[in-house]
Amino acid sequence: MSRTIGIAALGLVIAMGGCASNRADTGAVAEEVKGYCAQRLGDGRIDPVREKILIPLTIGEPQPIEMLANRTYPTDEERTAIHALSEAQTACQKFASQRMGSPPSYRSSSQDRIAASLSELYAGEITYGEFARSMLFIGARDQAAREDLEQAMQARQRWMEIDAAN
């Protein structure tokens, strides 16, 4: 979660133009969001799946091999925990958006993919291992999209410098 929130904070700083006072404000807001999310994800109702799902659900983090290899489907008790995890994840995203603004479109797409994978796990359509692998794939797509955006922003900056010189 901290990496996800940190990336969102970085995007906000870039959008604000990198002003020093805005960086301090963004850092404080990012810490507030991290604290809120940690509290939500600390909900005891999530405990039955903590050894089967890497929590917080962090985009781009490696998944432990035992999670990748888990071929079991959720039990009824675990479905209740997955539902609580989904609620916590949604609340965290909503709070982050309220405090920091909407995430970039690539990150919104990643969050939608995570929600879809959680719903598939909840429905018993995929195993815990398949969920862990989906998190890896979501992370890879998210990173590629972020890199594409960064390259586009750099290209835009170069062209703005050329336009300003003319």
pLDDT of 143 reads 87
pLDDT of 166 reads 66
pLDDT of 60 reads 78
pLDDT of 91 reads 97
Single out the residue of 29, 33, 32, 34 nearest to residue 16, CA to CA: 29
Per-residue pLDDT of the chain in tens (166 residues, 90 and over written 9): 444 444 333 333 333 334 444 556 888 999 999 999 999 999 999 999 999 999 999 887 899 999 999 999 999 999 999 999 999 999 999 999 999 999 998 899 999 999 999 999 999 999 999 999 999 999 998 888 888 888 888 888 888 887 776 6
Measured CA to CA, the distance from residue 83 to residue 9 in angstroms comes to: 27
pLDDT of 18 reads 40
Measured CA to CA, the distance from residue 18 to residue 21 in angstroms comes to: 9
pLDDT of 89 reads 97
pLDDT of 126 reads 98
Sign of the dihedral through C-alpha 136, 142, 144, 147: negative
Token reading at 33: 């969001």
Token reading at 103: 């995430």
Sorted by sequence, the CB contacts under 8 Å of residue 83 that are 6+ apart come out as 122
Whether the model clears a pTM of 0.85, i.e. scores above it, the answer is: no
